[in-house]
Structure 1
Amino acid sequence: MSDSASRIPTVDLRPWLSGDPEARAHAARTVDAALRTAGFLLVTGHGVDPALRAAIRESARGFFHLPAEAKRAYAVKVGGRGWLGPGAEANSYAEGTAAPPDLKESLSFAADDPTGDEAVDAEWFTPNTWPRETPGLRDLVETYLRRMRSLSDRLLELLGAALGEEEDFFTRHTGHPTWGFNINWYPGRERVGEPAPGQFRIGPHTDFGTVTVLDRQAGRGGLQVFTEEGGWEDAPFDPAAFTVNIGDLMERWTGGRWQSGRHRVLPPPADAPAEELMSLVYFYECDPGTDVRGLDSHTYLRGQLDAITVEAGNE
């Protein structure tokens, strides 16, 4: 077993969901240990059809390969619903590090089920934008998002037990949560050119919310995770597993017991310049107005989203 695999264990959800007390206790102990170290897990037994994930990638690839002028009609800033084009985002700014923009494009979606509070809905629950050029994408993504919402709540129940609390310790705050979903496209060097010094597909950062559920592809220019023990290491990969990490709100919620998983995505490699990868990234959060140890959850989230937006002051 590699060092990174030992720090990022695989957790099969089926024994946890079975209700067997011994299996559930073992899963909780494994999760607690991993989140104290790397903030990452691999999760199997989740029941999400791989064919659905493949179909989303195929449909989204049709959008990303459109001419730039066609995609530009859907352009938004970070936190919006639409297309984040080249140069729109620099994740390293979230940890205060100046760096060139990330070498990716994204189709970005977010929570769109209104609460009835006009001010909250105007900021956090606006309608999603669905590209006309890929008419099949909406049904695929909405099906996937329902599975992600359910899976994220199951994960939060496991995290509640791992923390030694009631299983609803976190999910009592996800009755009407915000979430974000990015389809991240990482093209090869023929599109993005030679990476600048310090430029990544996604720069070093931690996520901002509670749990992130990532469906990724293996690649030379892929995901790396940072730990104090091992520094930067390639994240272990299992095509059947989701890669799950916790974000800043969860670290704060646990009083620092668990570590928000610091990570980056390497630039397109020189020895495989045409490598093209696509990730499906679901960022789960909590209900607007949730108090996380004295911090308003969504004031924090808005500040971090603004921080990684590439504008005149962030270049």
Structure 2
Amino acid sequence: MDPSARIPTVDLALWASGGRRARAALAADVDRALRGAGFLQVTGHGVEPELPAAIRSEARAFFLLPDAVKAPYGVRVGGRGWLGPGTEANGYAEGSFTPPDLKESLSFASEEPVGDPAVDAEWFVPNTWPAEAPRLRPLVEAYTARMRGLSDRLLALLGVALGAGEDFFTRHTRHPTWGFNVNWYPGRDRVGPPEPGQFRIGPHTDFGTVTVLDRQPGRGGLQVFTDDGWADAPYAADALTVNIGDLMARWSGGRWRSGRHRVLPPPAEDPAEELMSLVYFYECDPGTTVHGIDAHAYLRSQLDAITAITAE
């Protein structure tokens, strides 16, 4: 089956302004998609294209710096700063000990404290902003503010799709944690040929509630796992790609599927292909329990799990 049939495009403007029948039809489409591949595309999201374009430009200038300049910003998975080559191996999360992912990332996260010292020290510490990319901070802060609002709109839609009401999820996102990665996927001309079983990002599912992805199409791009196997994810320039993570799948009582995906290695037929994705991971308030699981204990265990052995 064409993956676009399994991954519908949902117009959030219609969700906001449509009548009862239109909203019910959209919610039914979302429910079907999340029972299948666990992915959607969304339009009507209100994010102007100039903002992600500016983030890419500023971030790329940082990524192209020598590693010695970037090294002071280096962090482990789950930290705030630069995730250099060999730091992350997403396939580890599902027990596949693949070679490290062929990417670099700049990673940021929620930083407004809740007032609990232990929680703040783990989940709400200040971000690190590279001095070599001075325009990055205001751009990322503007973008992540839009992403948080968008994610809550998506959670309201998901609450209705589940038949549980618009605030079923959002009452647990009053002071949530979130993460934001700018993922850079260099070409073979920079990283060389991939090792056997090596990807730009290895096969995995995300860990939280919803992930909102602004991506670029390419031969070494996003693939989604469906009942028919791996398939290239559909792409539309005006759409954002959304998938649900493990916590949301559990929150749905197993009705929905956490969206399994991977990013293909840099292609041999286009060795200079370079892509960049903006990935916003939305979670929930600290202390949230999802069907008996402490949400943030789970999130921390999964972040630890994808730290590449070579990064130790």
Q: Could you say which residue in structure 2 is the equivalent of 1:216?
A: 215
Q: Could you say which residue in structure 2 is the equivalent of 1:75?
A: 74
Deviation for aligned residue 1:15: 0.9
CA distance in 2, matches of 1:135, 1:287: 30
Q: Could you say which residue in structure 2 is the equivalent of 1:291?
A: 289
CA distance in 2, matches of 1:304, 1:62: 30
Q: Could you say which residue in structure 1 is the equivalent of 2:299?
A: 301
Q: Could you say which residue in structure 1 is the equivalent of 2:40?
A: 41
Deviation for aligned residue 1:19: 4.7
2:220 counterpart of 1:206: no
Deviation for aligned residue 1:190: 1.6
- AA of the residue aligned to 1:55: A
Of 232, 236, 239 in structure 1, the residue corresponding to residue 237 of structure 2 is 239
Alignment partner of 1:25: what SS? helix
Report percent identity of matched pairs: 73
After TM superposition, the structure 1 = structure 2 runs for residues 46-195 of structure 1, keeping only pairs within 5 Å, are 46-195=45-194
CA distance in 1, matches of 2:140, 2:267: 30
Deviation for aligned residue 1:20: 1.7
Alignment partner of 1:73: what SS? helix
Q: Could you say which residue in structure 2 is the equivalent of 1:279?
A: 277
CA distance in 1, matches of 2:2, 2:302: 31
Alignment partner of 2:154: what SS? helix
CA distance in 2, matches of 1:119, 1:191: 41
CA distance in 2, matches of 1:284, 1:165: 20
Deviation for aligned residue 1:108: 0.2
CA distance in 2, matches of 1:11, 1:20: 15
- AA of the residue aligned to 1:249: L
CA distance in 2, matches of 1:53, 1:275: 19
Alignment partner of 1:140: what SS? helix
Alignment partner of 2:73: what SS? coil
What is the aligned length? 312
Q: How far does the alpha carbon of each residue in 1:158-190 deviate from its partner, in whole angstroms, 9 at most, with x for none?
A: 000000011000000000000000000000012
Give the root-mean-square deviation of aligned CA atoms.
1.0
Deviation for aligned residue 1:192: 1.0
Structure 1 gaps, min length 5:
none
Alignment partner of 2:76: what SS? coil
CA distance in 1, matches of 2:11, 2:292: 34
Q: Could you say which residue in structure 1 is the equivalent of 2:17?
A: 18
Deviation for aligned residue 1:310: 1.4
CA distance in 2, matches of 1:134, 1:20: 45
CA distance in 2, matches of 1:6, 1:213: 20
CA distance in 2, matches of 1:156, 1:291: 17
Which consecutive segments of 4 or more residues in structure 1 shift more than 2 A? Answer: none
CA distance in 2, matches of 1:95, 1:175: 30
Of 247, 253, 256 in structure 2, the residue corresponding to residue 255 of structure 1 is 253
CA distance in 2, matches of 1:289, 1:200: 34
Structure 2 gaps, min length 5:
none
Q: Could you say which residue in structure 2 is the equivalent of 1:270?
A: 268
Deviation for aligned residue 1:227: 1.1
CA distance in 2, matches of 1:287, 1:96: 28
CA distance in 2, matches of 1:110, 1:209: 13
CA distance in 2, matches of 1:278, 1:243: 14
Alignment partner of 1:283: what SS? strand
Q: How far does the alpha carbon of each residue in 1:96-129 deviate from its partner, in whole angstroms, 9 at most, with x for none?
A: 1111000000000011000000000000000000
